[in-house]
Chain A
């Protein structure tokens, strides 16, 4: 009997979906679990598979339409069946489609559940196959590997029974899926973005769209900092250890955050969270993106210990061996592009943090000192602040404190 098919909820948080593409057309025969369409949700482009066997009698929505869960999208039934009643019902208000119901009695459970024993055929068909409750099915192996590799399961397409994500799906993940060129002589090469890349895209878009950023730039006399680094490294030479300018800057920020704690804050759903700890996220470039491992209690660490932690975290970040916990819940970020010779730049806030410091390169240039032009060392840094929680004067006080610390590093000892 013909019935109206509704759009299933394809992810737990799906509030709407865009029907990207129909893979069946009117009149096509459809098997249980066969792909009907692709639907883009908040998480990813998901497969919309049929729960029924029959013929696709009528397509009710066009490609590109944005739909709520359960919205009627098609009518399925037997070939040649009269669907005028259903169409009339659709024209009238309050339609209740049937497909999203987990186990309607007439549903055919032809999904191939592995039956543990060949003799146990009845058991295999007695339990209804799972409807798309939004739960992501995946093998234990895949869950472990995804955890280790920092891959979000929502970004994967399962090809196992009932859409279970299996090892193969994870392994084939980065494989490019070339799409058909539309026009022009040299079409763009289209690849599916990695899960990391898509997470970055989503978070940065959220950040720039929802956070009112403003920027404060300071130009720092870096000669004392360079001297301090040289002295420390001379002291550490015997131990075979050394620290970088960046380590000193992280340390200075940690101290400055203690002195101006109004910058060590987050805006969370209308509340201001004043952090009791100073956890600094350090941006690290990796082959397919950017991650921010967090140095916990950076204010309490000696500069050598801090340097070792930064190096260890960055190393593991490049190997993609950081856990999610190690990359989240910082209270302040530092991003440096000095090694590329960038003089100064502005950075996008890493939510829910309140501010991020963008550090430029060390410049050697003439400076005027006591009326004379002498060789000097300068660095430019730009603080991006979330204006909802950090007003301009507060941000400026932080910048001033930071500048003082960087220009007289011994003050960090206070």
Chain B
């Protein structure tokens, strides 16, 4: 094992897959000569040349569509959105074409494409550039949605996503790119399967299900709660569609209580979907209503202090866990 950053893990996954398969190519804004807006694709142009690392105009609908077409005729494009906020311009290409073509062609046409880029709030990028998009893209049958929290999962899941025959929405995070963590040694081809979650921390006090940036908020809350004798069972689903339901249910059957922590807004989305699964499949094991700690239901404020209030905090996680455990504050 080595300790590397999340952005390096992503880069390694792309390099290894591009080495392995000549059909894989990267396309997006500033991915080449500028070395990537967040330096994820640093060095790729030099290594693979302009035919496989393609800088595009600022035209998401255009290059997303080109990617879908390329995938339909047999290539394996990686389409980078500078942030997922800009994918809204390309929404139709993703949900009407990439997500539907396999079904609408009666299985004749595949669309093995990866759309990737940073998801969620960064810091003070305000309402239009702080979207967490998993609630949107998990809605569409035909799309896989993955959201790795750690460098190891980022690398393993990106490799799995590039190799998959289906369109994959790959959600990274601007505030995750610098996170360091253990990743398999060079030369070890570690692939994390799509649809499999991970127990990030074991405990019998309360199940907490979380992913993305809030994963780190939860791990901090877990330390604080452990000091009070409450051991969290933290589940990172890693893939948000399809969900690893069995892993989550097994945990809830053990702890009898659950909190779901996510950055996306509370209305719908994978957060609500997870609660639905749990109350339906583990009803007789619940000792308390399932609670969620979500991004507050407002457009993201620009002011730094307000932004901190909107995003899930350690305090809010601790409070929710204590509530479902029937413990006073």
Centre residue among A114, A117, A120, A142 by max chain B CB count within 10 A? A117
CB <8 Å contact, B296 and A139: no
Interface residues of A in 157-190 (CB under 8 A from B): 159-160, 166-168
* Binary contact readout B113-146 vs A (1 if CB under 8 angstroms, 0 otherwise): 0000000000000000000000000000000000
* A367 within 8 A of partner (CB): no
Determine, out of B69-77, B172-180, B233-241, B283-291, the stretch whose residues face the partner at the interface. B283-291
CB <8 Å contact, A140 and B285: yes
**Nearest B residue to A143, CB-CB:** B284
Interface of B is mostly: loop
A118 to B287, CA, bound (A): 20
* A371 within 8 A of partner (CB): no
CB <8 Å contact, B284 and A144: yes
Interface residues of A in 122-153 (CB under 8 A from B): 139-144
CB <8 Å contact, B323 and A167: no
Centre residue among B288, B291, B293 by max chain A CB count within 10 A? B288
Interface magnitude class on chain B? 20 to 34
CB <8 Å contact, A141 and B294: no
Interface magnitude class on chain A? 10 to 19
CB <8 Å contact, A119 and B287: no
A159 to B288, CA, bound (A): 12
Chain B residues closer than 8 Å to A139, beta-carbon distance: 286-288
Chain B residues closer than 8 Å to A144, beta-carbon distance: 284-285
A120 to B272, CA, bound (A): 15
Q: Given A119-B297, A159-B326, A166-B326, are A142 and B292 also a contact pair (CB < 8 Å)?
A: no
* B266 within 8 A of partner (CB): yes
A279 to B247, CA, bound (A): 45
* A116 within 8 A of partner (CB): yes
CB <8 Å contact, B292 and A116: yes
A142 to B257, CA, bound (A): 12
CB distance from B39 to the nearest CB of A (A): 36
CB <8 Å contact, A167 and B287: yes
Identify 5 residue pairs between A and B in the complex whose beta-carbon atoms are under 8 Å apart, listed by A's number: A114-B291, A116-B289, A118-B316, A141-B284, A168-B326
A residues at B contact (CB < 8 Å)? 114, 116-120, 139-144, 159-160, 166-168
Q: Can you add 10 more A-B contacts, CB < 8 Å, to A116-B291, A118-B316, A139-B287?
A: A114-B288, A118-B293, A119-B294, A119-B298, A141-B285, A141-B286, A144-B284, A159-B326, A160-B288, A166-B326
B residues at A contact (CB < 8 Å)? 256, 266, 283-289, 291-294, 296-298, 316, 323-324, 326
